Structure 1
Amino acid sequence: MTSIQNKLKHSQKRIAQAAKNASREPQEINLLAVSKTKPISDIVEAYQEGQRLFGENYVQEAEIKIRALKETYADIEWHFIGPLQSNKTKTVSQLFHWVHTLDREKIATRLSEQRPDTLPPLNVCIQVNIGKEITKSGVQCNEIITLAKHISTLPNIQLRGLMAIPSANVDEQKARLELAQLHSSFIALKQLYPQIDTLSVGMSQDLELAIEYGSTLVRIGSAIFGARKNKKET
């Protein structure tokens, strides 16, 4: 068994234990393997261990991987989890199954217009700037419903939930307050739109706390694939 497969098993065990500690079922939480900046061979190794959900941040890099793996590994589910510029929406709408970083009506409209009719609706999550950090994208909690209403009018995208990256380097009390507010917003959104089922929050360093506060999808990269190289989208 490879190092990646061992690390993937360990991450799965962490999720299962965190679910148990939170009185939840492990199958309620999906693991998204974040493969950005990593070679195709790493994705294949994780796939051989049963992993099917992969997250990418950079459109050009992701396009190469998706096209290379499309035939042999057709059951991979691709999630776009990076900042999305208007000039990249067409490629994303054609290649990905999910977008986690939707925070503008303009981007939502473009994704819907550019999604091929031959494909099922693109699953999307609204990104929430839960810590109100000026360096992060995302809507504020009081803006979620307005954006959700707009998304609900678009034929080729399907709102599935919320995504957030909690503030870094904060004490546990602040982290808990942010996650509690995010979970409350998720529940409120679900009451309006019954199809809502995804709370995308939690990464390698904080997945246990995120699962305690209702996460249904954790995004794990370094704990599976090792440290990443810095990369700037071109």
Structure 2
Amino acid sequence: MSLPEITARIDAACDRAGRSPAEVALIAVSKVQPDARVEAVLDAGHRVFGENRVQEAQGKWPAWKERYDGVELHLLGPLQSNKARPAMELFDAIHSVDRLKLARRMADMAQELGRCPDLFLQINTGEEGQKAGVAPAEADDFIHEVRALDLPVKGLMCIPPVEETPSLHFALLAKIAARNGLSGLSMGMSADFEEAIALGATHVRVGSAIFGERVTG
């Protein structure tokens, strides 16, 4: 697979869903990828990337942001409250706001920094004990509480359980977003982004299908 092939599949999925490809942002998930692979995608003109860890992103993206105009960086992985400041300084969007304590910390930092990335609230649609995010039954209250902090809540994010049909979770996330007047839906990865687009995804997170398998050693 390659970036042009993924882009073509997104275009086709949008066409089937009666949507414009401009409505769907492709986040190239570059975590633990070799620099050469990431730079190849940057050189191809892609500008929207996702990382899972603040520290890893700090080590490479400031230099790339200087070299390549228009880079948009998204934090996809869990965020500890004590990493809120560097995350808010580096990232353009954070997709993993999953608790009120973190949101309050970010509200304080936003006042201090004079800026705040776009925020997506993580919903644990599968109610998995080991996974971050608020339960669907608590989502409406959580959205209301975070909005009350005057933070830029753009949408919701979910990661479906691996053993369940992802479309059920995408539909649930879309329903929660719609009743709360949120347009952003961060959902869908390499194996299921076309299903996510059919159900309204505005941000799809694709890594291995663009870069190849992650390098961990």
TM over 0.5: yes
What is the aligned partner in structure 1 of residue 163 from structure 2? Answer: 169
Q: Is the 8 A contact 1:94 1:115 kept in 2?
A: no
1:20 lines up with 2:20 in the alignment = no
1:67 aligns with one of 62, 66, 71:
62
What is the aligned partner in structure 1 of residue 71 from structure 2? Answer: 76
| SS at structure 2 position matched to 1:31 | strand
Q: Is the 8 A contact 2:140 2:176 kept in 1?
A: no
Q: Is the 8 A contact 2:38 2:211 kept in 1?
A: no
Quick one: which amino acid aligns to residue 208 of structure 1? E
Distance in 1, Cα, partners of 2:48 & 2:192:
19
Q: Is the 8 A contact 1:94 1:114 kept in 2?
A: no
Q: Is the 8 A contact 1:94 1:116 kept in 2?
A: no
* TM-score (ref. length: structure 2): 0.92
Quick one: which amino acid aligns to residue 210 of structure 2? I
What is the aligned partner in structure 1 of residue 108 from structure 2? Answer: 113
**CA shift at 1:94, angstroms?**
1.2
Distance in 2, Cα, partners of 1:219 & 1:134:
23
Q: Is the 8 A contact 1:199 1:215 kept in 2?
A: yes
RMSD of the TM alignment (CA)? 1.8
What is the aligned partner in structure 2 of residue 213 from structure 1? Answer: 199
Distance in 1, Cα, partners of 2:87 & 2:71:
15
Structure 1 unpaired stretches of 5+: 1-5, 191-195
Q: Deviations 1:86-122 (Å, cap 9, x if unpaired)? A: 2211210111111000011111111222237565432
Identity %, equivalent residues: 38
Distance in 2, Cα, partners of 1:12 & 1:21:
14
Distance in 2, Cα, partners of 1:118 & 1:70:
19
1:200 aligns with one of 183, 186, 196:
186
Structure 2 unpaired stretches of 5+: none
What is the aligned partner in structure 2 of residue 48 from structure 1? Answer: 43
- Kindly tell me the number of residue pairs found equivalent between the two proteins: 217
What is the aligned partner in structure 1 of residue 81 from structure 2? Answer: 86
| SS at structure 2 position matched to 1:115 | helix
Q: Give matches, 1:117-128, under 5 Å.
A: 120-128=115-123
Q: Is the 8 A contact 2:184 2:203 kept in 1?
A: yes
Q: Deviations 1:111-138 (Å, cap 9, x if unpaired)? A: 2222375654321000011111112111
Q: Is the 8 A contact 2:157 2:186 kept in 1?
A: yes
Q: Deviations 1:194-216 (Å, cap 9, x if unpaired)? A: xx331000000001111111111
Distance in 2, Cα, partners of 1:130 & 1:213:
15
Task: Return closer, same or farther for 1:73/1:112 CA change in 2, 3 Å cut-off.
Answer: farther
What is the aligned partner in structure 2 of residue 37 from structure 1? Answer: 32
| SS at structure 2 position matched to 1:71 | helix
Q: Is the 8 A contact 1:18 1:212 kept in 2?
A: yes
Distance in 2, Cα, partners of 1:9 & 1:76:
18
1:159 lines up with 2:150 in the alignment = no
